[in-house]
């Protein structure tokens, strides 16, 4: 097993695990297993009859599976949560935990193409079996579609200039590596704004490649079926697009955020957000783990 701390430093660990577990002998799901940091903390808080199921679409994560009979690993995108659980004989669970985004390991392995800090092929696939990579998005998407992706998923004001710049350069030769892409577009932002600009570009490409927003929406909608009444939904997000979806779902029970009411005017929803949400990391955690800076934790309880 590789060093889990090197793979990924879990964010808001104690807050998320404490918010998740309300039955030490229950069944829980970590839909973003990764380095297993959250999973190991969950297992340490479960009794002998407790059970934890870890999902991850990245085959690299299997190297971190704990030697514990109470744990079961499922290599799958969490958008298939309900069917995957039924396949292993589980209909309902006591809680679901999701730590969204990219693991530190994926950022640090250059050939995965997630990081602006190192040169690797334009890839960004969280599951290596996926067919669409950042290379295809950058080199084959029409200029208008590229601009739409950068505007929607990167929230970039320069979306159209950026798409036009990429279209200009790829007409001569394909843009094959992260380093090449950065060199072609970095003049669009200067000084202290450059790193944020590049991070937003890479975020937009990654979200498109992995269909992250759609997968998140599908997973959240399935939690209403798989979590028992009184059970917990715990989600850590890292940017406003994710957090907005999570907040709307927990508040209204749907992705659109439209409140539905019954004949008597009572709100119809699957979950009730716990009080004091969102929880954000303290200064000490941010100092120790820079990735925690943008994290928001939301917890909700399944209604009966």
Indicate whether 149 and 188 sit together in one domain.
yes
Q: What is the tally of structural domains in the chain? A: 2
Residues 123 and 200 both lie in one domain: yes
The confidence band for 5, taking pLDDT boundaries of 50, 70 and 90, is: very low
CATH number at residue 231: 3.40.50.150
Give the pLDDT confidence score for residue 284 in this predicted structure.
94
- pTM summary value: 0.89
Mean pLDDT of the region 204-209? 95
Mind listing the pLDDT tens digit for each residue in 107-156? 444 444 456 666 789 999 987 777 899 999 999 999 999 999 999 999 99
For residues 14-43, give the mean pLDDT: 97
Cβ 253 vs Cβ 270: under 8 Å: yes
* Same structural domain, 12 and 94: yes
Q: Tell me: do 220 and 148 sit in the same domain.
A: no
Q: Are 84 and 130 part of one and the same domain?
A: no
* pLDDT above 60 (res 106): no
Distance, CA of 173 to chain centre = 33
Query: For residue 44, is pLDDT > 50?
Result: yes
User: 210, 242, 257: which is the final residue of a domain?
Assistant: 210
CA dihedral 255, 257, 258, 260 (to 10 degrees): 80
* More confident: 101 or 239: 239
pLDDT on residue 259: 85
Do 25 and 41 lie in a common domain? yes
pLDDT in tens, 159-191: 999 999 999 999 999 999 999 999 999 999 988
Q: Is 136 found in the same domain as 11?
A: no
Q: For residue 267, is it left (φ>0), alpha (ψ between -120 and 50) or beta?
A: beta
Q: CA–CA separation, 295 vs 122, rounded Å? A: 26
Last residue of a domain, one of 193, 210, 227: 210
Residue 90 confidence (pLDDT) above 60:
yes
Domain residue limits at 249: 4-104+212-302
201/52 same-domain check: no
pLDDT band at 273 (very low <50, low <70, confident <90, very high): very high
From 210, 232, 259, give the residue that closes a domain.
210
């Amino acid at each position: 097993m590789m060093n889990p701390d090197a793979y990924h430093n879990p964010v808001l660990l104690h807050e998320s695990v404490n918010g998740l577990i309300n039955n030490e002998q229950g069944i829980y799901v970590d839909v973003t297993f990764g380095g297993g940091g959250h999973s190991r903390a969950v297992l340490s808080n479960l009794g002998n009859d407790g059970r934890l199921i870890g999902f991850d679409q990245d085959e690299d994560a299997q190297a971190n599976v704990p030697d514990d009979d109470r744990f079961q690993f499922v290599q799958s995108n969490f958008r298939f949560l309900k069917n995957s659980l039924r396949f292993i004989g589980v209909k309902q669970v006591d809680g679901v935990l999701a730590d969204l985004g990219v693991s530190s390991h994926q950022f640090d392995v250059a050939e995965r193409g997630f990081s602006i800090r190192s040169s690797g092929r334009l890839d960004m696939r969280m599951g290596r079996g996926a067919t669409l990579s950042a290379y295809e998005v950058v080199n084959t998407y029409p200029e208008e579609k590229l601009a739409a992706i950068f505007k929607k998923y990167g929230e970039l004001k320069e979306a159209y200039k950026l798409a036009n710049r990429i279209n200009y350069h790829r007409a001569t030769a394909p843009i094959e590596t992260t380093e090449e892409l950065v060199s072609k577009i970095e003049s669009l932002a200067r000084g202290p704004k450059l790193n944020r600009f590049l991070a937003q570009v890479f975020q937009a490409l990654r979200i498109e490649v992995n269909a992250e927003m759609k997968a998140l929406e599908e997973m959240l909608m399935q939690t209403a079926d798989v979590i028992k009444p009184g059970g917990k939904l715990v989600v850590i997000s890292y940017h406003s697009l994710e957090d907005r979806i999570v907040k709307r779902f927990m508040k209204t029970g749907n992705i659109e955020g439209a409140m539905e009411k019954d004949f008597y005017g009572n709100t119809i929803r699957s979950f009730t957000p716990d009080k004091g949400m969102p929880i954000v990391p303290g200064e000490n955690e941010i100092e120790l783990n820079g990735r925690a800076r943008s994290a928001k934790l939301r917890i909700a309880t399944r209604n009966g």
